[in-house]
Chains A and B, each alone.
Chain A
């Protein structure tokens, strides 16, 4: 009881000493920063400890949203079959952005950002539904979407790692260019997918669970293992936490950065197939603003925007929270404007909590240190 007031009064007192640390980090002799220190503690434990507590809080938010739904539409929630179907519909809604978000989580933990994910999904979707590609059947369509996704990711990664472009600029340029190419290829038309195998991805259930949900689960599990149980994951945390220290420790920072963007591209390719299956078609305007959905989910999942720390499970929960809010507003017949305002409020709240926990605003300005290495 008596402990809490001093704790809050300490916050302003603590913030001035942060500034020298910030200028030091920006200088050539980058000392292990706050973020890296946290990263070093948690890179092996991954989602345990700090992350687990945060994830538990997100689960709490989900339970609260469920309770609000049950209270406002008790007529629907009284039917268990409907509740089950509704939960699956939320997971299906979360599946495409969820896959994109796994790739985004890696990029952000690695100290970067990928604004081009929505455009890559659209380009891969359009490319895999052209008349020529569809003539190769489902295998050809899947191959095309994934190769296009990875190829665009490699271009992003090359520009950033070897061309020394700031990630924000490089992927912003790709956002514009990839949508342009998608519009060119599709001639601005909607391309209908005639392939029943591809379309079946979105309409088939196995053991009562939609295939889309299995794909999301597979990508999340693969992402979790890659981040928490492999050298690649530990290097990602190291590169994002302190690229200079990572380089001195013998990590090829440039090559690793390249691979992170390729990984994001791969996730976009998979997402493109899922989205094309859902819409049974593709067009250059699809997956609009997915980059913002994915970044928002990563942030409320507790990944530092400055890199060096983050969890896959947190990002997944972030996506599911957003999907649940969409669902909650839909079943109550409320407007999309109100829905977007609530989502904005949740992002701000999540970031504020992050700042209080780390007691520093400066974390936001430490991205892209890679370019100085």
Chain B
């Protein structure tokens, strides 16, 4: 045995050992949605089992906590009903892939389709097609422009998030008596319509209070871009009074940048309502004092309403015999006082 082959054996052994060790390191505690988020709505007899309904479901597969929560919530909510069967299809990497996946879904003849499209405009034609084929479509969050493309549209209020965040910031600054406050904004992906709506709501409402944004950076909904843009923003503004960060997922990075820069002269408002953000607000040991909701619980509600549509039933508390056509969730403000109420909706 030459020295060469012995060395190979040594490295080979080390490599195998490392491989075994690493493969044991991939485990993560799986996070299941809380019972409150998935339990069937009670009252009005809506929870009583009815006709068996098959619901087709499709959402993008992005690596983002909010999107992951949408899919998990939908699956869990469907599992809570004895009369619902969920057929979930992978949406692939883009709108074209999602369209292809959806055509296989139609061939399985579901009673209702719940769809969070990659892009509402691009998949509008699919909504029209499915509706024409007699399959009601529940359009989740990213809206189809054509009202004939959906039976029900349920979405969050992006403009309203900006309004809520601006109102909270204005109130706090007024209570503190700050004159000429420096307000900063860290947006999500700037190319998305939803980011523009959030920013517009924020700017419009600040203007009503006689305030404006001093500096704005756009991150990309990821933790590392949140850290990067926040670090630069802090550098640009030596003194800040308030920050609105659009997204709690990237907020992990934003908070990291703030603590790395040893800054705490301001308060921050988040967006979406992640569990981590609510815990930070409740603990009250960071600059994060509030977050405005954009809850993925809308996926659970969409499944519940799709079931009622499939069964031809109305909503228990409403007088109408059928489910309404459009529902826009209000963007609520979570603070230290009410964080415990909202914790069950955190993702």
Contacts and interface: CB of A to CB of B under 8 A. Distances in A.
Interface in B26-70: 26-31, 61-65, 67-68
B260 A279 contact: no
Interface stretch (A102-110, A128-136, A166-174): A128-136
Contact of A278 (B28, B218, B256, B276): B256
Given A89-B235, A280-B252, A327-B232, A275 B224 contact: yes
Given A130-B28, A279-B223, A85 B22 contact: no
Interface in B212-239: 214-218, 220-229, 231-233, 235-236, 238
B12 to A, nearest CB: 12
A337 interface: yes
Interface stretch (A18-26, A189-197, A305-313): A189-197
B26 A331 contact: no
A133 B25 contact: yes
A93 B228 contact: yes
A284 B68 CA distance: 12
B24 interface: yes
A130 B25 contact: yes
B190 interface: yes
Contacts of A190: 65, 223, 249, 252, 276
B235 to A, nearest CB: 5
Contacts, number: 144
A278 B24 contact: no
B227 A279 contact: yes
Interface centre among A127, A187, A337 (most CB of B within 10 A): A187
B18 interface: yes
B259 interface: yes
A283 B223 contact: yes
A311 to B, nearest CB: 26
A356 interface: no
Contacts of B26: 127, 130, 132, 185
A347 interface: no
B253 interface: yes
Nearest to A330: B232
A190 B250 CA distance: 9
Interface string A279-290: 111111111100
Given A189-B68, A203-B259, A285 B30 contact: no
Nearest to A336: B218
B28, B68, B233, most chain A CB atoms within 10 A: B28
A331 B223 CA distance: 21
Interface residues of B, number: 50
Given A279-B224, A286-B222, A336-B218, A76 B28 contact: no
A288 B222 contact: yes
Contacts of B238: 76, 82
A188 B68 contact: yes
Q: Which of B25, B216, B222 has the most CB of A within 10 A?
A: B25
Nearest to A88: B235
Contacts of B216: 333
A186 interface: yes
Contacts of A283: 63-65, 222-223, 249
A284 B67 CA distance: 13
A37 to B, nearest CB: 35
Contacts of A85: 235
Interface in A288-312: 288
B217 A330 contact: yes
Contacts of B31: 187, 189
B64 A188 contact: yes
A147 interface: yes
B260 A186 contact: no
A192 B238 CA distance: 28
A191 B28 contact: yes
Interface in A170-225: 179, 182-183, 185-192, 199, 202-203
B222 A327 contact: no
B22 A188 contact: no
A135 to B, nearest CB: 9
23 contacts: A93-B228, A93-B231, A144-B22, A182-B63, A185-B28, A188-B67, A203-B260, A275-B224, A278-B224, A278-B257, A280-B223, A280-B252, A280-B253, A280-B256, A281-B256, A285-B64, A285-B221, A286-B222, A286-B225, A330-B215, A330-B236, A333-B215, A335-B190
Given A278-B227, A278-B260, 17 more contacts: A85-B235, A127-B26, A132-B27, A132-B28, A140-B25, A147-B22, A187-B31, A188-B63, A190-B65, A192-B252, A202-B260, A280-B223, A285-B63, A327-B232, A330-B215, A335-B218, A336-B190
